[in-house]
Structure 1
Amino acid sequence: MRLHAFLPSPRVLGIMALKTHLGLDFEVQTLDLSQGGQRTRGYLAKNPNGKMPTLEDVAFTLWESNAILVYLAARSPQSGLWPSDLARQADVLRWLFWQSAHWDAESWGMVVFEKMSKAVLSLGPPDAAFIARGEQNFARFAAVLDRSLNGRTWLTGETLTVADFSVGALLPSAARIGLSIDPYPDIGLWYARLAALPSWQFALAQQESALAAWQAEHQAGTMI
C-alpha cells in the first residue's frame, strides 16, 4: 500500500496513528501542498479533488481520510477498531460523518483555512468574518462532543474505534489557531487517553518533525 499525504496535516495524523496501532506497513509518498503536488496530472488521476490523503492498495485507490481509516481498520477485524456489530458500525459512522460535516468543515476547518491554509496555498488574506463564524461553530460542536463523552471512556463507549482516531486528529492543531478545549473537561479527559496511546505519540512526533522540516525548507512561520 502507498499513502499520498502532506504529513504536517491533521487530516493525516489519525491515519498515521492507526497505521502504527495496527502494525501496518505502507509507503508514504509525500505531497507538498505549497508546491502544487496535489494538482499534478498524475495525482489528479488518483484523486480528482486535488486534495489529500489518497491511499493506493494494488489496483484500488481510495480518497477521503475517514474512508481510509475504515478501510485500514476493517482489514484488521481482530483489533475491534471497526466493529462487527451493525449498530456499533452505524454509531462509528455517525461520528465519522459528524467529524467531516461539522467538526471539520463547519468549525475547525473554517478557521484553519483562513489562518493557515490560505497562506500556504497563496489564496490571499484571511477573512475575519469567516474566522468568527468558524470559532462560533467550534464552540457549538465542541459542546456536543463534550456532552457525548460524559461518562464514556471512548467516543462510542468503552471500546476504542476509528471514530476516536478521526475526531481526535484535529485537536493537537486547535490551540495553534486559537481554538481551546479548556471549557470542555470531558473532551480533555478523552483526548488525554488518546494521547497516551504509544501509536498516537509516535504519529504526533512524526507530524511535528515533518512540520519542522517543512518550515525550515520554506522558511515559514507556524503552520498546522
Structure 2
Amino acid sequence: MLKILGKASSINVRKVLWTCAELNLPFEREDWGTGFQSTQTPEFLSLNPNGLVPVIKDADFVLWESNTIIRYLASRYDGAHLYPADPLMRAPVDQWMDWQATDLNRSWSYAFLALVRQSAVHQAEKAIATSIASWTAHMRILNGQLRATGAFVAGKQFSLADIPVGLSVNRWFSTPFEHTQFPAVSEYFERLSERPGFGAYCANGLP
C-alpha cells in the first residue's frame, strides 16, 4: 500500500491526500514534521535530503516534492481524467501547477508567515504590505483565468492543477487581512466543494 510521510496539517501533504481521494487510492500516513517525528533524522534524510514533507513510498519507490508526487500518482493510478496524456491538454495543467508552486507561493509567503504563523522574524509592516499587494496581484491573475474558463483553472474540467491552486485559494481566504473581492475565485472555491477530499483536505479549518 502507498505510504505517505508527513503531518496532515501540511498544505503540501494535503495536496497528496486530496489527490488520493480523487483517485480513490488507499494509503497509510505517518506523522512527520514539526510536532511529530523529526525530518532531520538520518532515517528521513535518506529519503529526502531536503528534510521536508511529503515523501511517499510506493513499494520500493521513494519520491518527494508535492507537485511531482501528485503528477506521479495521477500518471500511475489511472488519473488521466486529472492529468491528460495528450501534450496539448496536459500543458495547461502543468502551467498552472508550476505557477502555483513558484509565482503564487512566493507572493504570499511573507504575509502568511507574519499573519498566520505569527513568525517573530516576519513582522516588518512594509514587507507584509508588499507581500499582500503581490498576493492580491496574483489572485487577480487567477480571477481573470477563472472568469475566462468559467469553471476550473486549466479549463472546463477539474484537473490536477486545481488541487494545489485550490489549497492556495483556501490559504488566501484563511489569512486575516482586508481582501480584495474576486468573484470568480469565490465561485471557483464553491465549485471545488463538490470534489472528493475537498472537505477533509482543503476546507478543513487549516490554512
Task: Provide the rounded CA distance (Å) in 2 between the counterparts of 1:199 and 1:130.
Answer: 34
Q: Judging changes above 3 Å, is the alpha-carbon distance between structure 1 residues 140 and 117 closer, same or farther for their aligned structure 2 residues?
A: same
Deviation at 1:145, TM superposition (A): 0.6
Match of 2:153 in 1: 155
| Deviates most, 33-42 or 21-30 | 33-42
Q: Judging changes above 3 Å, is the alpha-carbon distance between structure 1 residues 160 and 110 closer, same or farther for their aligned structure 2 residues?
A: same
User: Considering only aligned residues, what root-mean-square deviation do their CA atoms show, in Å?
Assistant: 2.2
Match of 2:52 in 1: 51
Match of 1:11 in 2: 12
TM-score (norm 1): 0.81
More helix per residue: 1
Task: Provide the rounded CA distance (Å) in 1 between the counterparts of 2:118 and 2:46.
Answer: 24
Aligned residue pairs total 204
2:146 matches 1:145: no
Deviation at 1:174, TM superposition (A): 2.6
Q: How does 1:53-68 map to 2 (within 5 A)?
A: 53-68=54-69
Match of 2:187 in 1: 189
Q: How does 1:1-224 map to 2 (within 5 A)?
A: 1-34=2-35, 37-77=38-78, 79-104=80-105, 106-117=106-117, 119=119, 124-128=120-124, 129-152=126-149, 153-178=151-176, 183-204=181-202, 208=205, 224=207
Q: Judging changes above 3 Å, is the alpha-carbon distance between structure 1 residues 86 and 57 closer, same or farther for their aligned structure 2 residues?
A: same
Q: Judging changes above 3 Å, is the alpha-carbon distance between structure 1 residues 155 and 30 closer, same or farther for their aligned structure 2 residues?
A: same
Deviation at 1:35, TM superposition (A): 5.5
Indicate the SS of the match to 1:77.
coil
Percent identity over the alignment? 25
Indicate the SS of the match to 1:187.
helix
Structure 2 unaligned runs (5+)?
none
Indicate the SS of the match to 1:56.
strand
Q: Structure 1: which 4+ aligned runs deviate by more than 6 Å? A: none
Deviation at 1:182, TM superposition (A): 5.3
- 1:68-99 superposed Cα distances (whole Å, 9 cap, x missing partner): 11111112335510112101211111111100
Q: Judging changes above 3 Å, is the alpha-carbon distance between structure 1 residues 43 and 76 closer, same or farther for their aligned structure 2 residues?
A: same
Deviation at 1:8, TM superposition (A): 1.1
TM-score (norm 2): 0.87
Indicate the SS of the match to 1:138.
helix
Task: Provide the rounded CA distance (Å) in 2 between the counterparts of 1:70 and 1:25.
Answer: 17
Q: Judging changes above 3 Å, is the alpha-carbon distance between structure 1 residues 180 and 77 closer, same or farther for their aligned structure 2 residues?
A: farther
Q: Judging changes above 3 Å, is the alpha-carbon distance between structure 1 residues 22 and 43 closer, same or farther for their aligned structure 2 residues?
A: same
Q: Judging changes above 3 Å, is the alpha-carbon distance between structure 1 residues 179 and 40 closer, same or farther for their aligned structure 2 residues?
A: farther
Q: Read off the aligned partner of 1:99 and give its amino acid letter.
A: Q
Deviation at 1:179, TM superposition (A): 5.4
Deviation at 1:7, TM superposition (A): 1.0
Structure 1 unaligned runs (5+)?
212-223
